[in-house]
């Protein structure tokens, strides 16, 4: 007997594809925010599914902090070649050179906050009216309040207390000139769903996600990759550890975890056993209890 049932991953996939198609239909100039992290890789995978056999009908937009892991950039370029998608890069370095963004100083200096400047500028320059992002509601408490279609005013600001109600699967993408939308097709996915999906669909991800030996700095309990971009405190010395990254972002603020998980299956097991949220290792969220909400209000991802 056939039963009309979908498992939860198939249902989430279908929902995300539906959202992607709404974006393509409702907006004139959408783009997909690509960071090289697993969530944006899954987004690209879903976008391919949504428009198959046509190509993805919008460009990928990478906001490049200049503080990258080389693996991320190699991976990005390979994916772009494979999908035939168009890539647009917004450079934080360029924003700094032009005096539009000011580099932070001190040991915890990061370009994470500066990304917002470059992001908003690139959105304006290319007249993007919708930017698809890989944020999930389970990631962070401010994100739990996010809509699928999230309205941004002409300054790129998010007004969390005054969001449009979002009912059924009807997404209201109407807006005035100069405003845009952030769209989050993965809203209802959890970290575990993402890993399961990557495993089941056998989606390629950067090597950084798998266990490897690396020189790191342990700062306030967070394991940071030892890179030329990190300013060391006088007492800090790089040590070698077997680690992997649970999220991949700017190299100066993405924390690693000690791990021996070397395959997707092992990562799934690890995620199931882990008792710390994946953003627990992100330095950018540790700045204050509402660090994410504050950044989001200003136009962060």
Partner 1 sequence: MSQKEKIKFDTEAYQKMELLRFTTAGSVDDGKSTLIGRLLYDSKAIFEDQMKSIEETSRKRGEEYTNLALLTDGLKAEREQGITIDVAYRYFSTPKRKFIIADTPGHIQYTRNMVTGASTANLAVILVDARHGLTEQTHRHSFIASLLGIPHVIYCINKMDLVDYSEERYEEIKAELTDFSSKMDVKDVNFIPISALFGDNVVERSKNMEWYTGPTLLYELETVHIASDYNHIDCRFPVQYVIRPQSLEYPDYRGYAGRIAGGVFKPGDKVMALPSGFTSVIKSIDTFEGPVEEAFAPMSVTIRLEDEIDISRGDMIVRENNVPEASQDLEVMVVWLNEKPLQLRGKYRLMHTSKTARALVRDVRYKVDINTLHRIEDDKNVGLNEIARITLRTTEPLFVDPYSRNRQTGSLILIDEATNNTVAACMII
φ/ψ of 187, rounded to 5, equals -45, -45
Size of the site for partner 1 (CB under 8 A): 78
Euclidean distance between the first and the last CA atom of the chain, given in angstroms as a whole number: 46
Asked if 91 is part of the footprint of partner 1 (rule: CB under 8 A), the reply reads: no
Rank residues 56 and 101 by Cβ distance to partner 1 and give the closer one: 56
> Which of 83, 157, 163, 227 touches partner 1 by CB under 8 A?
163
Binding segment toward partner 1, per CB under 8 A, in 51-59, 64-72, 96-104, 110-118 = 51-59
Longest Cα–Cα distance of the chain, Å, equals: 69
Rank residues 63 and 132 by Cβ distance to partner 1 and give the closer one: 132
Q: Interaction with partner 1 in 247-276: which residues (CB under 8 A)?
A: 257-260, 265, 268-276
Asked if 199 is part of the footprint of partner 1 (rule: CB under 8 A), the reply reads: yes
Interatomic CA distance for residues 267 and 264, integer angstroms = 5
Asked if 3 is part of the footprint of partner 1 (rule: CB under 8 A), the reply reads: yes
Alpha helix (H) residue ranges in the chain: 8-26, 38-51, 70-83, 92-97, 115-125, 191-201, 264-273, 291-298
> Which of 81, 192, 239, 262 touches partner 1 by CB under 8 A?
192
Asked if 228 is part of the footprint of partner 1 (rule: CB under 8 A), the reply reads: no
Q: Interaction with partner 1 in 141-160: which residues (CB under 8 A)?
A: 141-145, 160
Binding segment toward partner 1, per CB under 8 A, in 91-99, 113-121, 125-133, 289-297 = 289-297
3-state secondary structure of 224: strand
Determine which helix (DSSP H) or strand (DSSP E) holds 239, and give its type and residue range: strand 239-245
Using the Cα atoms of residue 134, residue 195, residue 10 and residue 47 in order, give the sign of their dihedral. Answer: positive
Asked if 210 is part of the footprint of partner 1 (rule: CB under 8 A), the reply reads: no
The label of the residue with tokens 């190509």 reads: 55
């Amino acid at each position: 007997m056939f039963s009309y049932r979908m498992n939860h991953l198939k249902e989430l996939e279908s929902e995300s594809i539906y959202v992607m198609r709404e974006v393509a239909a409702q907006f004139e100039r959408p783009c997909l925010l690509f960071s090289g992290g697993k969530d944006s890789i899954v987004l690209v995978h879903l976008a391919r599914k949504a428009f198959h056999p046509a190509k993805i009908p919008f460009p990928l937009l990478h906001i490049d902090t200049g503080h990258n892991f080389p693996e991320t950039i190699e991976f990005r370029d390979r994916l772009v070649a494979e999908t035939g998608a168009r890539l647009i890069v917004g450079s934080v370095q360029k924003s700094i050179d032009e005096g539009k963004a000011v580099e932070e100083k001190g040991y915890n200096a990061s370009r994470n906050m500066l990304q917002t400047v470059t992001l908003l500028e690139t959105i304006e320059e290319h007249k993007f009216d919708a930017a698809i992002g890989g944020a999930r509601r389970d990631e962070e408490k401010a994100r739990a309040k996010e809509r699928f279609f999230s309205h941004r005013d002409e300054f790129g600001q998010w007004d969390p207390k005054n969001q449009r109600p979002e009912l059924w699967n009807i997404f209201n993408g109407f807006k005035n000139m100069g405003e845009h939308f952030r769209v989050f097709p993965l809203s209802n996915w959890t970290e575990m769903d993402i890993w399961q999906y990557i495993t089941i669909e056998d989606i390629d991800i950067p090597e950084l996600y798998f266990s490897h030996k690396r020189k790191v700095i342990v700062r306030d309990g967070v394991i940071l990759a030892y890179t030329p971009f990190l300013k060391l405190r006088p007492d800090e010395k790089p040590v070698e550890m077997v680690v992997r990254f649970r999220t991949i972002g700017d190299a100066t603020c993405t924390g690693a975890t000690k791990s021996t998980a070397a395959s997707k299956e092992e990562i799934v097991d690890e995620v199931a056993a882990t008792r710390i949220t994946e953003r627990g290792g992100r330095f950018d969220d540790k700045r204050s209890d509402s660090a994410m909400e504050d950044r989001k209000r200003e136009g962060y991802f």
